[in-house]
Amino acid sequence: MMKSDQSKKDIVRAAIQRHVRNLESWRCTRLWDEGDPALKAELTAAHPLADGELAILYSYIDPANWTLVTTQRIRYSTEGQVGSVAPSDVLSHHPHNFKGYGGQEVEHLEVRSRDGRSHHCPFETGIASMGTIYAVRTLCQITPAA
């Protein structure tokens, strides 16, 4: 049975909230419902969501580098190059230096899709990285493969 978009959003939010701490201290990453209204308007105006698609979490580094996890897609912009991948098409995801060793503040979650492509999704390192990592991991776990 296919999960509704609202069910997916609820499951992913619960997973994030169960595994992370200090959400309010994150600099660039927010659960969508608690996010900056102006930033949310900017993201959805430039990258409209599909009918029924619900935003879950974003990691917004700057206008050219961000990741938006929704119930239907993992959307991103890397150096202004916009892309997306459906969770049903994801083969693997690797967070690389998500802890931010060496003072690194931004990393790219490498998402490999079934068509052999790599998608590089920018996210905030350190404690906040867990938001993006758990959002993608959980969404891919609850979405049947294509």
- All structural domains of the chain: 5-142 (2.30.29.30)
Tens digits of pLDDT across the chain (146 residues): 678 999 999 999 999 999 888 888 899 999 999 999 999 999 998 889 999 999 999 999 999 999 999 999 999 999 999 999 999 999 999 999 999 999 999 999 999 999 999 999 999 999 999 999 999 999 999 999 87
In sequence order, the 6+-apart residues with CB closer than 8 A to the CB of 24 are none
The pLDDT, as a whole number, for residue 63 is: 95
**Predicted structure pTM score:** 0.95
